[in-house]
């Protein structure tokens, strides 16, 4: 089928087959589908949406376009947490060591700041000498040695997402919840995790301002993960004010150390406890969420 026919079918509201989605994604990454054609398909997707089957297919195709890590030879579960981001959101720096110490592996492919939100990698680089540019071999070795590891997105991980996002950024299609879901999940599932805890922010300081939009995005990601046999949970959390007492990369690192030592802001501490409890639960370390607290 010609690319223009796939664009027309999506424009007219038809459900695309896996083969059609694969043709346009793989064609764009290998250069046989032009950027203006991909732009048209992205806009049609934003306006028409996707079915659950289409979204799962898109996510898996983007995932499999790159390297997918495999930790199945190691004992136990691997679980990660993903946040859609907000001012003062720093929970990853607390969760990784806490959950790893509790016996659940935490492989994290982290990001940088997006808009007004700070990125985990930016916070880590506030620590003198801290290297976030690990190879995949170093990432695996660190995970095996201490139970948690953080890395930025490499050229091998979800390369299709990097190309597609660059185009979305200049074509007014960043806001599509379906494309957001595929972008997030294709990177997160490349970590080789058994389960994923999602922290979907809502409120004035979040990417999604309205509760119904946050709930919809959360439902898309949970359904997509479940279709790919992952244990999934989504928490909708408030971002009408900054999380914790400090904003700024170096200050937030210091605040995370306070939390790990039993001090720090009550809201940040409670969110870390809640997310860690869910990570322990879906990681098979506890029989209930409450036990994980």
Residues identified as active-site: 82, 161, 168, 183, 187
- Number of other residues whose CB lies within 10 A of the CB of residue 286: 18
> DSSP states of 226-283 as a string?
HHTT-EEEEEEEE-SS-SSS--SHHHHHHHHHHHHTT-S-HHHHHHHHHHHHHHHHHT
**Under 8 Å CB-to-CB from 74, ≥6 apart: which residues?**
105, 144
Tally of CB atoms within 10 A around 144 = 13
Partners of 197 in beta bridges: 81, 233
> Rg (Cα) of the chain, in Å, rounded?
19
Distance, CA of 1 to CA of 172 (rounded, Å): 27
Cβ neighbours for 114, distance < 8 A, ≥ 6 positions apart: 85, 207
Q: Could you give the dihedral angle defined by the CA atoms of residues 213, 45, 221 and 200, in that order, rounded to the nearest 10 degrees? A: -30
Q: Measuring CA to CA, how many Å separate 122 from each of 55, 154, 166, 202, 237? A: 30, 16, 20, 22, 22
Work out the end-to-end distance of the chain between its first and last CA atoms, rounded to an integer number of angstroms: 53
Structure tokens at 179: 């494309």
């Amino acid at each position: 089928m010609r690319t223009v026919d796939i664009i027309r079918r999506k424009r007219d509201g038809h459900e695309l087959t896996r083969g059609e989605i694969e043709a346009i994604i793989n064609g764009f990454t290998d250069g046989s589908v032009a950027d203006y054609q991909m732009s048209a398909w992205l806009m049609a997707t934003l306006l028409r949406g996707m079915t659950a089957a289409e979204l799962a297919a898109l996510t898996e195709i983007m995932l499999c376009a790159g390297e997918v890590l495999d930790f199945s030879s190691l004992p136990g579960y691997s679980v990660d947490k993903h946040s859609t981001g907000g001012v003062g959101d720093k929970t990853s720096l607390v969760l990784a060591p806490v959950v790893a110490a509790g016996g659940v592996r935490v492989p994290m492919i982290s990001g940088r700041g997006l808009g007004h939100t700070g990125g985990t990698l930016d916070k880590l680089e506030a620590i003198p000498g801290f290297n976030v540019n690990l190879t995949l071999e170093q990432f695996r070795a660190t995970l095996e040695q201490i139970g948690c590891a953080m890395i930025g997105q490499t050229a091998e991980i979800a390369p299709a997402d990097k190309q597609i996002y660059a185009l979305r950024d200049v074509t007014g299609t960043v806001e599509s919840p379906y494309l957001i879901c595929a972008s997030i999940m294709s990177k997160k599932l490349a970590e080789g995790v058994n389960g994923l805890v999602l922290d979907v922010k809502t409120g004035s300081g979040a990417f999604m301002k309205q509760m119904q939009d946050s709930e919809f995005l959360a439902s898309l990601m949970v359904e997509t993960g479940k279709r790919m046999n992952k244990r999934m949970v989504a928490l909708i959390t408030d971002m009408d004010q900054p999380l914790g007492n400090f904003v700024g990369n170096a200050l937030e690192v210091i605040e995370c150390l306070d939390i790990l030592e039993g001090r720090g802001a009550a809201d940040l501490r409670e969110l870390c406890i809640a997310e860690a409890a869910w990570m322990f639960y879906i990681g098979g370390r506890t029989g209930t969420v409450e036990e994980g607290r």
